[in-house]
Amino acid sequence: MLKKILGQMGLNPGRLRLEWLSASEAQRYAATVAEFTDEIRALGPIPAGVEDAAVAKEEVHAG
């Protein structure tokens, strides 16, 4: 469900991963992290959301 929402917001659902790992599975933890890191690296950074100049200026002021 959450992945579907991410998709609708224009984010790749692949950026979220759920993995069942037990306390003894150090190898698998390392492998999962390595694999997931590679996947995210392939996806690249999340594009910044658009911010209109007319509004962005005011936010500095309000902040």
Using the rule CB under 8 A, is 60 a contact of other proteins? no
- Does residue 49 touch other proteins according to CB under 8 A? yes
Binding-site size for other proteins (CB under 8 A) equals 52
Terminal C-alpha separation, the chain: 34
Q: Is 4 in the site for other proteins (CB under 8 A)?
A: yes
Dump the DSSP string for 25-58.
-HHHHHHHHHHHHHHHHHH-SPPPPP--HHHHHH
Return residues touching other proteins (CB under 8 A).
1-2, 4-13, 15-34, 36-37, 39-41, 43-52, 54-55, 58-59, 62
